Copies of this chain bind each other. A is one copy, B any other.
C-alpha cells in the first residue's frame, strides 16, 4: 500500500453534508492500489466499539489516483469515523493519527455536527436547466429606435469597439426561438449603463443602458421569459467599475477631498488616468478601476445593487465577473442578501481555475466551468488527449467539488472570452457534435454560447462576438436539430440530471469513451466515438435499450 498516496481530510469535498442527516465521505488512493476500502463510523460520543461499517464505492480515477466514496446516514448528526484499507496483501486502519494496525491507534476523523445552517443548498431547478449565454449587442436588434450612432450592419465582422444595435427587445422577439431550442435559463453579459459595447465598465449599476432598453424592457423580458418557463440571469461586475462611474469621477475631480476616496485602491492622490496610479482590472486598464469591496460603504452599495435587480426586476440569479479577485467575506454577504431576496436565486462565479474556496456552500452555487471546457477542447476539438486522459481530467475536476457544486456548474464549450468551439474544432462539425452530446449528458448544466447551436464560428474576442445568424439559409440546421434533440433528452431524463456517473469505456486505442448515468428509475449509456472510423460498442452488462436520438431498439 502506498501510504503517501492516501488522502483524506474531514472537510471540503472530502467530507460534507448532503442533507441534515447524510454525509458524503471521499478517500483518495494511488491508482490501482486498493482492493477494498471500508468506512467505520459512529456517533462521536458513543463508546469506541459501537460502530457501523460501510464499503466505499469506486467513483473514478484520474491520472494518479482512484477515488472511493460513501454516503452515510447519521441520526444524531455527529460523526466519528476511520477507514479500513485493503490492498489485497495488507489491511491498515487509517484515521486522524495516520495509519495503524489496530482500530484504536488510528484515531478518528470527526464531522462534529452536520449543521443545517452550513448545508450547501443549490436551487432544485438547476437539475433540469440548460443555459443560453447572450451578448446583447449581438443577438438581435428588436428596437432600432434605441440604436447608438454608427451601428454597423448586422453580419459585419466586429472590432472591440463596434456596436450592432442588439437589445433586450431583440431577445424578447426571439424568445419563441429559444423556447423551441429548449433552453430555460438566459444569462446575459452586462446590460447596465456603460460606454462600451461589452459593458464590463459600468457607469451606473442601477440603470439599464438605453441602447438595450429601459426598466420596462428588462421587466418585460423577465415576464415574457418566465411565461415560457425560461429564467433570466444578469452579470454582476463588482470587481471593478467603469471610468464614468460617479464615485470614480468624483475622485478624479476632487482628489483627496472626494468622499469616495476610499472606494478605490489608489496608489496616489490625485488620480491620474494616464499614469494609472490606481489598481484596475488586470494590469493598467485605466477605464476599469478596481472597487474596494472591503469598504463597508462600497459593500453596502453593491449589495443594494444585487438586491435591487432580484427584487425589483425579478431576475433569477447572478453571474459574477472576475469573482476570484473579490473578497470571500463580500461574497458570503452577497449570498445572504440575494437568497433573502429570492431563496431560489442562482449564483455562478467566473473562476477559470480550481474554485474550491468559493464552492463550500457559503458563497457560490457553481462556476463557469472552464476546467470542463479545457478537457472537452483537448479531447474532442483538438484530439490532443486520449479517452483515458479525458476521463482523468473530468474525474479530477469532479472530485475537487462537492456534489451540489457539480450539479450547479455552467458547463460551457465557449464564451465571449474564448474562441468559438466550432472554430477550435477547425470547423470539423463531427467533433463539435460529439462535444455537444457529451455536454448535454454530463454532470452539471449545459451552457450554450449564443449561435454555437447554428454553427457560428469565430476566433477569440472580438471575433467570437459576431452577430447572431438568423438567416435560416445560413444556419447549420443539423447542428440546431442536434441541440434541440439533446436538450429535450436532457430535460426528459432525470438520470442525466442527477444520476450517478460511471465511466465504462475509456480506450486510448479506439478513443471510444462511454459512461453510464443512473438513478433508481433509469440507466442511460452514452458512448462517443471520438475517432475518424466507425466502431461498435456493447451496451454495458449486455442490457438492451432504446437509442434516445434515433428511437432504434438495441
Q: Which of A's residues lie within 8 Å of B, judged by CB?
A: 2-5, 7, 9-11, 30, 43, 45-46, 63-65, 76, 78, 96, 98, 108-110, 112-113, 115-118, 279, 282-283, 293-294, 324-330, 332, 351, 353-354, 356-357, 362, 396
Contacts and interface: CB of A to CB of B under 8 A. Distances in A.
B117 A329 contact: yes
B329 A118 contact: yes
Given A4-B2, A293-B117, A112 B362 contact: no
A43 B4 contact: no
Given A4-B64, A294-B115, A356-B11, A76 B283 contact: yes
Contact of A325 (B96, B113, B327): B113
B329 A362 contact: yes
Contacts of A294: 115-117
**Number of identical protomers:** 2
Contacts of A327: 115-118
A325 B65 contact: no
A405 to B, nearest CB: 15
Given A4-B65, A11-B356, A110 B332 contact: no
Contacts of A45: 282-283
Contact of A326 (B4, B30, B115, B356): B115
Majority SS of interface residues in chain A? loop
Contacts of A279: 76
Nearest to A43: B283
A330 B293 CA distance: 22
Contacts of A76: 279, 283
B11 A324 contact: no
Given A4-B5, A43-B283, A117-B328, 6 more contacts: A2-B2, A5-B5, A110-B354, A112-B325, A113-B326, A118-B329
A267 to B, nearest CB: 10
B117 A10 contact: no
Nearest to A393: B97
List the 6 closest pairs (A to B, CB-CB), nearest first. A4-B5, A117-B294, A112-B324, A115-B327, A113-B325, A117-B327
A322 to B, nearest CB: 8
Contacts of A362: 328-329
Contacts of A2: 2, 4-5
A494 B354 CA distance: 38
A299 B325 CA distance: 30
Nearest to A5: B4
Nearest to A3: B64
A329 B361 CA distance: 11
Nearest to A396: B98
A83 B329 CA distance: 29
Contacts of A332: 332
Nearest to A371: B96
Contacts of A98: 63-64, 396
A115 B11 CA distance: 23
| Max chain B C-beta neighbours (<10 A), residue from A7, A46, A117, A324 | A117
Nearest to A46: B283
A9 B283 contact: no
B96 A354 contact: yes
A325 B362 CA distance: 17
15 contacts: A10-B353, A11-B356, A43-B283, A78-B325, A96-B354, A109-B354, A110-B353, A110-B354, A115-B326, A116-B294, A116-B327, A117-B293, A118-B328, A329-B362, A332-B332
A44 to B, nearest CB: 9
A356 B9 contact: yes
Contacts of A354: 9-11, 96, 109-110
B330 A117 contact: yes
Contacts of A64: 3-4, 98
